[in-house]
Structure 1
């Protein structure tokens, strides 16, 4: 759950730097990324903010991105209502993925507001285990960018943000 939600782009642009970094940190768990994105303000549109977020993520080292991936929950721990067998299969597949690639499995579907189907995650894990290291590194970074977009969308809320009460 993000503390900063529905700010709107204008309010986000006007935040003091310290508060903007804090709000952005909630999206990516990276002070370096959040600082750089905050320093790029004044964004003219959501697309400009998302492009800056993607550019800053691309600049982070693989080791740093691995540490970001490690902050995300394992798929088997995302949904409390998941069947025990499904939870076990997801946990086993996620561990196999981490052993294969050396970093945690990242999947933006786990963060979609409408939820996810555990079977879809298992299928995705299976397909991605067939990737070579270079391909999977790119896929993982793309998934992190999608998660950032989902969280940035929540941070901004609807056009103009939610009314201040």
Structure 2
């Protein structure tokens, strides 16, 4: 993105007090290491710079950091109470049949038993059936394949959430 001025939402985010910015970043991604890397990289001139910094921080996460990030996500089909981001992202589960919900629960439990962490996928824009199909496919991965797939999916989720964060920050009169 080539722009002579920083977009309002990003400009406001760049100037948030560190504690406020950290809290906002941890709502995007529960990895403390990821949030700290982004805080240390402020300010950004463009949203593309912001996303690139997020991608770079994600690539540097250790296995423990990635587990911390994944622990911040509820299972597919069961968004956390009071978690508007997960509810919005899992909107494709709205209206899913009880049979599909039960199938997803069983698959989620099998996945967690095999891999030791929640099934992580960019759910935005996907139907319950698409989520189930992806879960069925990925449960056949090796742990190494699945860890890298989960890392890639976390990157997609983070990009969506960061874009929303900049929109929300843009709407604040005195952020």
Question: With structure 2 as the length reference, what TM-score do the two structures score?
Answer: 0.80
For residues 128 and 50 of structure 1, do their structure 2 counterparts lie closer, same or farther at Cα, with a shift above 3 Å needed? same
1:1-165 matches, within 5 Å, as 8-78=9-79, 79=93, 81-109=95-123, 112=124, 115-157=125-167, 161-162=170-171, 164=173
Q: Which runs of 4+ in 1 moved over 4 A?
A: none
Indicate if the aligned counterparts of 1:70 and 1:104 stay in contact, CA closer than 8 A.
yes
Task: List runs of 5+ in structure 1 lacking aligned partners.
Answer: 1-6
The range that moved more, 133-142 or 70-79, is 70-79
Distance 2:121 2:67 in 1: 14
Question: With structure 1 as the length reference, what TM-score do the two structures score?
Answer: 0.84
Indicate if the aligned counterparts of 1:66 and 1:104 stay in contact, CA closer than 8 A.
no
Q: CA deviation at 1:23?
A: 1.3
Distance 2:31 2:114 in 1: 25
Residue number in structure 1 paired with 2:85: none
Indicate if the aligned counterparts of 1:69 and 1:104 stay in contact, CA closer than 8 A.
yes
Task: List runs of 5+ in structure 2 lacking aligned partners.
Answer: 1-7, 80-92
Query: What is the root-mean-square deviation in Å for CA atoms of aligned residues?
Result: 2.2
SS at match of 1:8: helix
Q: CA deviation at 1:116?
A: 2.9
- How many residues are paired up? 155
Distance 1:137 1:48 in 2: 26
SS at match of 1:105: coil
